[in-house]
A and B are shown apart, each in its own frame.
Chain A
Amino acid sequence: MRKIFLILAALLVIALTGCGGGKAGEAAGKAKAPQVIRYNVCTEPETLDPAKSTGQPEGTILTNMFEGLVRYGPHNEIKPGIAREWNISPDGLVYTFKLREAKWSNGDPVTAKDFVYSWLRALDPQNAYEYAYQLFYVKGAEEYNSGKGRPEDVAVRAVDDLTLEVTLKAPAPQFLGLTAFPVLFPVNPGVDRETRDWPKVMEKYVVNGPFKPVKWDHNQKIELVKNEKYWDAQGVKLEKLEIYLIDNIDTGYNMYKAGQLDFQEEVPTQEMARLKAANEVKIFPDASVYFYRFNVTKKPFNDPRVRRAFAMAINRGEIVEKVAQAGQVPAYAFVPYGIPDADGKDFRQNAGNQFFEEDVAEAKRLLAEAGYPEGKGFPRVSILTNAHAGHQKVAQAIQQMWKQNLGVEVGITVQDWKVYLDSQDNLNYDICRSGWSPDYLDPMTFIDMFVTNGGNNDTGWSDKEYDALVARANFTGGQKARMEAMHQAESILMKEMPVMPIYFYTNPNLIKDNVKGVVIPPFAVYADFKNAYVE
């Protein structure tokens, strides 16, 4: 398993070697190729209002047009954005950001007041932004959003034009990283007051990031051009970024082959084998996990032995290699690779990826112990999945493995996405396919899912010790103690197994070889084109 990770890491390095800043500048200087990249984000964005956006495609487009207080660098490191520097109080509660003298694309200066305005706008209950809760770390934010507090009491303050002071209600090391994402982006107050629907009207659209939009042809493409007013405009090599909104991956693939796209976010599964062999697909890490939930509130999965038996009786390597095919990593733990631990190293690597082993004999023994020798008398259960071809394939492979290895006949129930979510939320399932991607680069985004009655628990599982560990991690300022608590929590999760990890995702992309300098982060955003160029 370790080997696979190393390969993955190597891949990452290969992909990113082109991204070195200095080299990029040189190459761009020599380049004769027109500096235009045509990128398919594979869906029509629901909105281009940063506060309203919830998905990765929207996040990707917005990140290329805006800049928050910070911005992620090519190695997932947090780099200064609009904030030149910042200071965090020793108790981890007060963040003071010093802003640089940046400008909006209409020439207005970007000020601390803009951030105050934007964050309050994001929290305004009248606006009802779904991801407003990403600001709930801020003192007074949740109260305001739920109608119990006043906007004046939200602890975000413009000390002067270039100083922003934020007070959190509890220490949250992940907060700094969150300021790199859309909900916490500033919007131009003047424009927002004047034209309420500016996010729909590209002529009125004002940005503070690398690119500004010119045209939005729905279900076709969004055209961005370089924003000359961007504070780091010098570092931006691209003249034009065309973001295509083609949702049929196969169609996108054909366009890529016909030379009409340079870069597509997704790769058709049935092309994967050939593309990998021809070295045409580039696989990037993705800090997300693919797993099955068990409904622990009823038989037979109320018995942890049954859950463990099921988890041990599948061949993850075969699923990854033959079914998913994109170089995913078999998962024997819940928190994916790519998330830093207290020592700056990788959280997953530190704890290892081996909380349990695939062992059919042991699985059979556990199942017999639970009262189902050779699967006899096992109740009829079913895997719930949404109607997506890939998920259905994995489910069928697993179905057969359980049948062969445990002698248990498991059905498959396919539901439409929204019905599936409804069933999952209301525990109307036996086994449920799930996936989770982080909201921020911290194990907490995975660990806090499974606290008792957590909004995303959806298994009915509850463990007092686990809850206590999560609480400890949440209210401890020290990173070391926090991480320690989370490591412990994860080992409980993997012992009790309300969820069965299957694999850690990867992010395969189709990218032409002459496209360089694109940052492909492992979460939240597909691609950052700030320093990208065409060779």
Chain B
Amino acid sequence: MARYVLRRIVTMSLALWLIITATFVIMHSVPGGPFSSEKNAPPAVMQNLNARYRLNDPYWKQYLDYLLNMARLDLGPSFKYDRSVNEIISQGFPVSAQLGAVAVSIALGAGVILGVAAAWKQNRWQDYTAMSLAALGFSVPSFILSGLLMYIFAYKLMWLPPAMWGGWQHAVMPALALSALPTAFIARLMRSSMLEVLQQDYIKTARAKGLSPAAILVNHALKNALMPVATYLGPLVAAVFTGSFVVETVFAIPGLGRYFVISVLNRDYTLILGLTVFYAVFLMLMNFIVDLVYMFLDPRIKLADDRGD
């Protein structure tokens, strides 16, 4: 186990280094700098700014400095905001993650139920209804969905507050908007994996045992059918927990997602790098956790270096 974890850490670090390097290169080849503005400041002022943020250093030095700071878990100051990148992430991420957790729960719950219902009643109305719902989730772009939700529930019906982060009422619309696509995806994934499982011999065994359909579903089919969903969960959690630009700006959620867009638009170099690193680490971590969960779900799977018995 320890060896396995160690090996994962080594490969993760290597991947991280590659990502930082690539981002650094692309980022600096994009025209425009963090301090360009409509009103051009005198050269002396620009000189001070560049000196302060070390943009006068040669690229290799900036790059090495960044790597060294990274090693100390310091992602540097934001060039645009009066906050450090660490602060921005630690303030935004919890909000995005909370909302993301709600959204993933909805997606998982609704997706699994829809998928199971569709598979269980294959080619009957339940199947068609569930799959039509899933298709809807697939087919509406998030900015339109968000806008429509707000228009209907906040503007017309006035059932929910239009925006901002507060009580549960504030989480309803953004969570729905965030979960539409993953719900649809999980529902379809669940349906096909459930159909696959339902054809397995052990399901027939379970029926021959005289088990009720509910018991077969819960005790024999569900766990086995959930495995492909578990694989998808790693990237999903990584994507949803780090926030969505559209949902966060439309519903005025103070999360992390917006920064993935505006950091680039602002050429906020440290923030771009910081977010990339954070996302990559988080994704790798989630995938690692998924592997562990998988091990729990499927006793046949063992970690590569942990062959017992």
Residues of A within 8 A of B (CB): 44, 46-49, 52, 54, 125-133, 136, 142, 145-147, 199-200, 217-221, 246-248, 250-251, 254-255, 257-258, 260, 416-419, 421-423, 425, 434-435, 439, 455-456
Contact = CB atoms under 8 A, between A and B. Distances in A.
Given A246-B252, A248-B252, A425-B36, A254 B154 contact: yes
A219 B36 contact: no
Interface residues of B, number: 49
A456 B42 CA distance: 10
B37 interface: yes
B163 interface: yes
Contact of A418 (B33, B155, B252): B33
B42 A455 contact: yes
B249 interface: yes
Contact of B155 (A49, A254, A455): A254
Given A218-B91, A417-B265, 11 more contacts: A127-B52, A131-B41, A133-B42, A136-B42, A142-B42, A146-B48, A218-B254, A246-B164, A248-B250, A251-B150, A421-B38
A49 B37 CA distance: 19
Interface in B29-77: 30-33, 35-42, 44-45, 47-49, 51-53
Nearest to A246: B252
Contacts of A218: 91-92, 254
B82 interface: yes
A178 to B, nearest CB: 14
Contacts of B204: none
20 contacts: A47-B82, A125-B44, A126-B52, A128-B45, A129-B45, A130-B35, A132-B45, A146-B47, A218-B92, A218-B254, A219-B252, A246-B163, A246-B252, A251-B251, A255-B164, A416-B265, A417-B32, A419-B30, A439-B39, A456-B39
B258 interface: yes
Contacts of B250: 248, 250-251
B254 A217 contact: yes
A125 B48 contact: yes
Nearest to B40: A455
A254 B150 contact: yes
A230 B263 CA distance: 38
A47 B87 CA distance: 14
Contacts, number: 137
Contact of A421 (B32, B51, B53, B164): B32
A254 B82 contact: no
B42 A258 contact: no
A145 B36 contact: no
A47 B248 CA distance: 21
Report, nearest first, the 9 A-B pairs whose CB atoms are least far apart: A418-B32, A146-B44, A47-B82, A128-B52, A219-B254, A128-B48, A254-B162, A455-B40, A422-B32
Contacts of A422: 31-32, 36
A127 B36 CA distance: 18
A128 B49 contact: yes
A430 B44 CA distance: 29
A133 B40 CA distance: 11
Given A47-B82, A219-B258, A248 B249 contact: yes
B83 A200 contact: yes
B252 A220 contact: yes
B168 interface: no
B80 interface: yes
Contacts of A147: 44, 48
B81 A46 contact: yes
B161 interface: yes
Nearest to B51: A128
A199 B82 contact: yes
A130 B154 contact: no
B302 to A, nearest CB: 45
Contacts of B297: none
A418 B266 contact: yes
